[in-house]
Structure 1
């Protein structure tokens, strides 16, 4: 009996020792994985959401892929199956009329097809780049209301407000403004989405998915 007590006492002491050493192991997050500053991409208020608003998009740099993921996060928190209170659909929050311009007529099929949504986004960016090609050439590098105009900012704003409204804003130097139903402005998109490299996107006239 005494031997059993000595054995179990020793075993308990050994477990305590091991546990204390395990707890003292350094589990500091590597510097390369830390987020040092908050993202500027914020989810618009009053929208229907399907994920926590405190999430942040992955950092993908200034490439086209980084651009579209940042814009998707702004629009729907990156959710392919989201529908907002105004009926805008999917990861990039397309309206039915815009989809029809690109040859997509079944909103239910669109909402349940992530590959189709990605193709629609790329098609719409190419379409908007064609429509605004002269304004891109004219205004990129200028400042309007304190915001430097970039191609990516213009294309993001066109996704929000349509290329026609963006051109009106630029040509009036900010006097003719636009605000969507949630209070998001062209100026805010021009600022938030500036500096992405979209040179790989070729402008296309009336492209279809």
Structure 2
């Protein structure tokens, strides 16, 4: 019996997340700070450019230092806000703004925050391969959100955020998957051929 792409992705996700969960908590903090320094050196930002990040959940890379480093370079920040079981939008993150629970152990800006279209997206992921194919958490929020931006004629720069231990040999291809051109890990910013 052959394993379906969905089942294989589920297994790869489970294994990659177990490796990520096993990383030392204090080491993860140091790496988050190092990744912010890498971003300062290797991610060009235009003043006012809209950058989407994410509030970390569980053992994810804490991208807040990275987001704040990009804000220092002039970025306008936003975070995903879950509207329903299939949709996220990106709400502006400003100092002192009210944050609300978004589910999945994460928070985002209150519904009064302005909805923005990011031109650079820091994309969370569970696993990735050397081709830039990613495995998300299984709900498809980012694939659909990126698809909606593309439908508007926008082509956001996508940078996956992960630890090296989340790399797998090969992610099964599925038609709806969005390929990530760049991945930032503790080893640096890797670019993949399109």
TM-score, length of structure 1 as denominator length = 0.26
The alignment's TM-score, normalised by the length of structure 2, stands at 0.28
More strand by share: 2
